[in-house]
Structure 1
Amino acid sequence: MASGGGENELEVSNKQVIFKNYVSGFPKESDMYLNTNGTIKLKVPEGSNGLLVKNLYLPCDPYMCNLMKKSINTKMFTIFFPSANMTRFDVAKVVDSGNPKFKKGDLVWGKTGWEEYSLITDVQNLLKIEHTDVPLSYYSGILGMPGSTAYSGFYEVCSPKKGEYVFISAASGAVGQLVGQFAKLLGCYVVGSAGSKEKVDLLKNKFKFDEAFNYKEEPDLVAALKRYFPEGIDIYFENVGGKMLDAVLLNMRTHGRIAVCGMISQYNLEKLEGVHNLVHMIYKRVHMKAFVFSDYYHLYPKFLDLVLPHIAEGKIVYLEDIAEGLESGPAALVGLFSGLNVGKQVVLVAQE
C-alpha cells in the first residue's frame, strides 16, 4: 500500500518472520509466525548513515536453533529475542542509502532481517557484491558464510597436505560439500557421511568424494570408519558431534587435526551427550580446534580469489534447496533437523 506525499514518503507492506519465545529441544514451525501487518517507509531517516534494503535470499542454518535458546552465551552470540524479527546473513538490494559507500541498486550481503525490507543502521560488516556472474543465491551459501566457513576451517584450522585422509560428517550440507571438494582439489582421499541414500549418491557422483556412507545404516560407527580408513584419519571436519566424534577419536592418526565447525546432533538435546574417547587425543597428539565464521572474517577476499575461478571452471559445484516465499521460511528452517533439505537451504524472498 502507498501513502500520499510522493516517492520519498512511500510506505509499503513489510512481511516479517517473528520469533515467538525461547525454545528447548527442536524448534517447531509454531515457534515462529508470519506478521503481515507491518509497514515500512522506503527511505532512510534524515541524517542516517544506514541503508534501506530489499531482501532477496535468506539462508537457513542449523545453528539458528541455538539462537532461539535463552541458555546461549549472549556475550558471544546475538540470540533471537521473543516477539522480534529474526536476523541472519542475507542477500539484499539497496533501495535507499545514507552511506557514501553504498548507492541505490547495489547488491549486498550481510546481517539483515527475515523480512521483505530491512533498515540497517550498522553497515560495518555489510559487503557489496562485486561478482554478479554467479547466481545471487550463492551469497547465501557457497560465496557467503557457509563457503567462507568451509574455506577457513579446512585451510586455516586443518592445515591440509596433499594425500592426507579426510573425513567429513554432515557432508552433503552447505559447508560439508565444499570442504570435500576443497580436499579433492588438493589431492586428498575424502570420505563423507550423510543421512540418506540420495545424499550418499550425491557425495560420490556430484561432489566426487572417494567414498560416502549413510550413518543411519551403520550399527557400529567405529567399525564403519575403520572400513573406510584402514590407515586412520588425518583430518576430521566436525559438523555432528556425539557418537560420531567418539568414533572418529578412535580412528585418528598420530598428529591428526579436527576442525570443530558444528555439532548438530547436540543442538536440540535437553541433556548433551558425553564424549568418552578424548584420552585418545593424548595418545595420538591430536589437535582439535573449534572456530566460528567471524574468527576468519578478514580472509573473505582471499577466499573469493580461490573459489570464484573454480566455480567458473566447473571444478567446484554447489547444490541448493530453494524454498519460495518468506512464508516458507519457518518450515524450511525446521526441516533442516529432520534432513528434508538436499544441499544448502535457502529461502527466496523476492527476485532482484
Structure 2
Amino acid sequence: MNQISFTLKNKDTTCDVFAGTNLYNEAIVYLKKMNKAKYVLITDSKVEKLHGETFLAKCIEAGLDIFMTSFQEGEKNKTRTIKEKLEDALFEQKCGRDAVVIALGGGVVGDMAGFVASTYMRGIPVVQIPTTTISIADSSYGGKTGLDVPAGKNLIGAFHQPIAVFMDTELLKTLDKRNYDSGLIEIIKHGIIKNKKFYEFLKENLETILSREEEKYDKIMAKVVMDNITIKREVVVEDQKESNLRKILNYGHTIGHAVEKLSNFDLLHGEAIAIGICAEAFLAYKNGICSEECFLEQKNIVESLGQETKIPEGISTNDIIELMKLDKKAREGMPEFSLVSEIGKYFETDGVIAKRFSLKVLAEVIDEYKKLE
C-alpha cells in the first residue's frame, strides 16, 4: 500500500492519505487507533448496498461502536433538509464531540458528511473513503464541504479537512462506466493546470485507465492516484482557504457549475466540468491567453474520454451568465475564471490567479463556442 501524509500550512491538522487496493482492513485499524466513543458511517442509498453494509459489518466485528445513516443518492439530495436529517441521526445516537464521521461514497456523500462533521458540536473529525473517480480524484481531500441551494451549487459550506483519506482503487471497478469515465476529467484537469508530465502520462495510458481490466491497470491507477493527490497537495498546502493559488483548481468550474445546475443535475459533475474546461479553454484562446492548439488539445482529450464538449441545447447563454454572477467565486457580480496559458501551466498576472471579463465579452464567447462543431 502506498501512503502519503501532509500537514496543511499554518494548521495543526494532518491529513493522512492512503492509496492502494482492498484497504478496508487498513481503514478499520486506523479507526480503532483513534479510540473514539462513537463512529458514524454516512453513505447514500446506492453505496449502502454496494459497500456500506459490508464495511459496517467489518467495523462491528472489529469492535467499533458504529452506526450507519444514509440518504437517497444524487446531487439533488445535497440539501439543507438532508443535512438536518443526518445531524438528527447523530443526536438520536447521542454522539458527542468524541465521535468521528466516516464518509463512504462519492462527491455528494463526501461533501455532505464533511459539512455535517464541520458543524456538529462545532466540529468533529471526518475520515473520507471515496468510492468514485470524482471523489478519489478531487473532492475527498482538500477540505471543501458544502451543499446546494436554489441560488446555486455549493453556496453553503465550510473548509473542514479530513484527518484521513483511504483511496481504494478496487472500489472503482464497481462503478458504472458513465460515472467512472466522467470522473476522470478532474484528474486530467490537474495535469492541464499544473503538470504537463502527468498530463502526458495520462494520455499515454488512457486506454488502460479506461479499461479497468488490463493486467497493468492496478499499477497504473495507483500511480495516477498518488501523482494526482501530490499535485493537489502542493496547491492546498500553500493555500488552504482559496485566497489565490488554490483558485487554479476551479478551472472549468465557473461555466461547468452553471451548466450542471441548468441541466437540473441531469449532467454528472464530471460531464459538466468537461464542458466547462473546453468552454473556458475557448475563452482563454479568444482572449489571447492560450493558443488555438492549446484549446484544441484540451477539447481532444475530453473527447477521448468519451465526454460531450457542447453546451446542451436549451441552456441559454443568458442563464449561464446569470448563474455565474451568483457563483461563490464571483466578486461584485463579476464571474472569476482561473485559466490555462499552456498545458501544465496556469495563467496569472502579477501573481494573481483569478481573471475577470466583462459580461458582454463572456456572452459573445459563449455564443461563439456554442456554434463550434
Q: What is the TM-score normalised by the length of structure 2?
A: 0.28
Structure 1 or 2: larger helix share? 2
Q: What is the TM-score normalised by the length of structure 1?
A: 0.30
Q: Which structure is larger by alpha-carbon Rg, 1 or 2?
A: 1
Structure 1 or 2: larger strand share? 1
